[in-house]
């Protein structure tokens, strides 16, 4: 992934109504005439994909109206265990579909062509007698920071992702156990394992949906796959990531299996990460951007490693353990690939990636705006991994404390109160899940993500 060929990341919420949804939808349905159902989707603060499903006839009514879809006020209030945080009882949440994100999901059993499509939505809260409030929505926060970077700082970004996952099956006691047990680390033997025919089906479904897959291989030590997606402008990249996760999980589910990207679904197997590739253009701003990111990296972990289970990856060569960067150094949390291009390794699929990437970009832009010096040396050279380096948080509570420390400046850069909303939500989540034992938590997350 490089910094070449950047393009505008698309419209903000204010211009949704200026799009011509009828033209976009008609063209899509002409290409996919057998679509029967359309999912209006969003990702909540717990990193869980949620959706309302419309029939094709009702979908046509929604498109003709060119108005948002009303939804209950719990869109960002649900915890992974099904409980809820306190919410405003009189609120209505309005789902604004981004029609350019419309895509097929995958072929259902018994169908020769896809019958489901999905469209990603941004969410605005409406209260009686009060102006509409977009401050809850991570997708809007990302749009805003991308526009701010371009308009005020002359900076554009490309984002890419690596998807790591394992395949599980129901065991005799109903608990999920490993299904895929092929050798890892690029082994060709993985390409003839028992799960590989379903994996190939995943790849076909991803490509048929228009997702730009670069390559795939066996990862980890045993039973793990990795899929690398092409670099895209931030909003498009995350829309594709969300769809890719869903298509992979749906394809395996059609065969009675569970594909999971959760951080540590099996105790004695490797962890799953979701490395974020960030490219900044022009690259001459890279030092100040990197300084801003590193100085706030412990707080960013609360967004990019947002689950209790995420901290099973708190180790060198996984998420890293100290605040550091290095050229081609996989031991540290930020690996520099080339000028203006980094791999953020302290991230996993439990993250709401709209919010995680928004936080990463906001932290970097704070560094640029404040002309912050880069105090960290390149850890790729002997002696440059300073013994005094700040530690990365070892658990979610520590990372949330770090987020609280920088909440104000992140909110100001994002022009949004969302960091505070998110902080309150996550503290409720920690309290709700602390009563689950380790195995119960792993099983729950494996079925969700």
Give a yes or no: residue 1 inside a domain.
no
Look at residues 86, 103, 134 and tell me which one is the last residue of a structural domain.
134
Could you give the number of structural domains in the chain? 2
Q: 318 and 188 in one domain? A: yes
- Say what the pLDDT of residue 386 is: 56
DSSP string over 250-265: HHHHTTT-EEE--S-S
Give the residue-averaged pLDDT of 105-125. Answer: 82
Q: Return the number of other C-beta atoms located less than 10 Å from residue 381's C-beta.
A: 11
Q: 202 and 287 in one domain? A: yes
Domain of residue 232: give its range.
143-448
Residue 161 or 133, more confident: 161
Do residues 421 and 137 lie in contact, with contact meaning Cβ atoms separated by under 8 Å?
no
Structure tokens at 5: 């060929």
Give a yes or no: residue 9 inside a domain.
no
Confidence of residue 108 (pLDDT cuts 50, 70, 90): low
- Say what the pLDDT of residue 20 is: 75
Give the residue-averaged pLDDT of 374-401. Answer: 83
Q: 295 and 269 in one domain? A: yes
Q: Which of 44-58, 162-176, 193-207, 376-390 has the lowest mean pLDDT?
A: 376-390
Q: Which residues pair with 123 in a beta bridge?
A: 95
Give a yes or no: residue 8 inside a domain.
no
Question: Distance between CA atoms of 210 and 168, rounded to whole angstroms?
Answer: 27
Q: Give the CATH number of the domain where residue 320 resides.
A: 3.30.590.10
pLDDT, tens digit (0-9, with 9 covering 90-100), for 288-327 = 999 999 999 999 999 999 999 999 999 888 889 999 999 9
Residue 14 or 342, more confident: 342
Residue 384 or 362, more confident: 362
Q: 246 and 154 in one domain? A: yes
Q: 108 and 207 in one domain? A: no
Sign of CA dihedral 188, 189, 190, 194: positive
Residues contacting residue 254 through CB under 8 Å, at least 6 positions apart: 106, 108, 109
Q: 411 and 304 in one domain? A: yes
Give the residue-averaged pLDDT of 145-172. Answer: 97
Structure tokens at 145: 């920071």
pTM, rounded to two decimals = 0.93
pLDDT, tens digit (0-9, with 9 covering 90-100), for 409-418 = 999 999 999 9
Q: Which residues pair with 70 in a beta bridge?
A: 94
């Amino acid at each position: 992934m490089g910094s070449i060929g950047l393009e505008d990341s698309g419209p903000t919420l204010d211009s949704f109504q200026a799009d011509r949804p009828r033209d976009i939808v008609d063209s899509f349905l002409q290409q996919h005439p057998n679509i029967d159902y359309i999912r209006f989707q969003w990702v909540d603060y717990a990193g869980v994909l949620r959706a309302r499903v419309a029939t094709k006839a009702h979908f046509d009514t929604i498109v003709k109206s060119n108005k948002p879809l009303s939804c209950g006020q719990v869109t960002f209030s649900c915890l992974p265990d099904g409980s809820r945080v306190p919410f405003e009882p009189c609120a209505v949440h309005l789902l604004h579909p981004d029609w350019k994100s419309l895509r097929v999901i995958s072929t259902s059993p018994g169908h020769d062509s896809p019958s489901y499509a999905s469209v990603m939505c941004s969410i605005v809260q409406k209260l009686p007698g009060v102006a509409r409030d977009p401050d809850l929505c991570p997708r809007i926060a990302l749009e805003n920071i991308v526009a701010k970077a371009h308009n005020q700082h002359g900076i554009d970004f490309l984002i890419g992702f690596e998807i790591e996952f394992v395949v599980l099956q129901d065991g005799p006691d109903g608990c999920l156990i490993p299904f895929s047990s092929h050798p890892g680390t690029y082994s060709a033997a993985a390409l003839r394992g028992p799960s590989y025919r379903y994996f190939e089906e995943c790849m076909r479904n991803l490509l048929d949906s228009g997702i730009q897959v670069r390559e795939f291989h066996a990862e980890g030590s045993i039973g793990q796959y990795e899929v690398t997606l092409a670099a895209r402008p931030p909003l498009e990249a995350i829309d594709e990531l969300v769809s890719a996760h869903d298509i992979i999980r749906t394809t395996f589910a059609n065969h009675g299996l569970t594909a999971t990207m959760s951080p540590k679904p099996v105790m004695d197997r490797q962890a799953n990460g979701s490395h974020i590739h960030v490219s900044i253009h022009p690259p001459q701003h890279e030092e100040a951007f990197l300084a801003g990111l590193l100085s706030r990296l412990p707080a960013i972990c609360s967004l990019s490693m947002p689950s209790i289970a995420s901290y099973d990856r708190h180790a060198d060569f996984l998420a890293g353990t100290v605040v550091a960067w290095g050229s081609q150094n996989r031991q540290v949390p930020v690996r520099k690939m080339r000028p203006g291009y980094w791999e953020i390794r302290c991230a996993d699929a439990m993250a709401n990636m709209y919010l995680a990437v928004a936080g990463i970009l906001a932290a970097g832009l704070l560094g640029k705006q404040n002309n912050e010096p880069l105090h960290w040396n390149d850890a790729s050279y002997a002696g440059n991994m300073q013994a005094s380096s700040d530690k990365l948080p070892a658990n979610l509570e520590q990372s949330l404390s770090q987020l609280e420390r920088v909440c104000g400046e992140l909110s100001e850069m994002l022009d949004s109160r969302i960091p505070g909303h998110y902080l309150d939500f996550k503290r409720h989540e920690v309290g709700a899940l602390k009563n689950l034992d380790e195995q119960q938590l792993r099983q729950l997350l494996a079925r969700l993500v």
